[in-house]
Amino acid sequence: MLSKNVRDLLNAQVNAEFYSAYLYLDFSNFYKDEGLDGYSNWYMIQAQEERDHAMLFIQYLQQNGEAVVLEAIDKPDKELKNFIDPLNFGAEHERHVTDLINNIYAAAYEEKDFRTMQFLDWFVKEQAEEEDNADDNIKKFELFGSDSKGLYMLDSEMQSRVYTAPSLTLD
């Protein structure tokens, strides 16, 4: 059985992951409207990943006999004015999610909840990858995005991303 604090943090993370999916769908729609189908694709896949992360947290709560509490998902509120805005906001958001995961990990550590810590190990590694990807996307855009040919090439590169479901299973 999970402690109340860890359970509440895990439930809050479900909402945070679904919000991340909403945010990335908003970014995807922005790029689609601007004719950057590759960037739209990249964020559509990012939204799918975040939804799957939420489902993993739900599954973990259920397998530990805990109730899942679904809360309202906030509407994304980022004002997107230019092509780099979603990239910057995405990197900022990933750092925020890393903080949330670390807070859950710290609470589990305090409770000596080693099972939850083990579950979160995958997310700790995933967040490092997410932050690296977000930073790489910004660096590439800053280097090549101001040139129309460079932006075309970057957009084509983003179009090649395909969805891969998380390899973590709780069965």
Express each pLDDT in 52-63 by its tens digit: 999 999 999 999
Which residues fall within 8 angstroms of residue 117, CB to CB, at 6 or more apart?
A: 105, 108, 109
Is 168 inside a domain boundary? no
In one letter, which amino acid is 107? Answer: A
The pLDDT of 151-156, averaged and rounded, is 96
Is 137 inside a domain boundary? yes
**Nearest residue to 15 (alpha-carbon basis) of 72, 63, 64, 62:** 72
Which residues fall within 8 angstroms of residue 10, CB to CB, at 6 or more apart?
A: 2, 57, 60, 61, 66, 104, 116
Give the rounded percent of residues in the chain with a pLDDT score beyond 90: 93
Is 76 inside a domain boundary? yes
Per-residue pLDDT at 82 exceeds 60: yes
Q: Is 54 exposed, middle or buried (0-12, 13-18, 19+ CB in 10 A)?
A: buried
Is 119 inside a domain boundary? yes
Is 98 inside a domain boundary? yes
Specify the residue for token string 């099972």. Answer: 115
Q: Domain containing 45: what range?
A: 4-159
Is 105 inside a domain boundary? yes
Question: Residue 30 belongs to a domain with what CATH number?
Answer: 1.20.1260.10
Q: Domain total for the chain?
A: 1
pLDDT of residue 164: 82
The pLDDT of 102-119, averaged and rounded, is 98
Q: What is the pTM of this model?
A: 0.94
The pLDDT of 67-74, averaged and rounded, is 96
Is 171 inside a domain boundary? no
Is 134 inside a domain boundary? yes
Q: Contact at 8 Å (CB) between 91 and 138?
A: yes
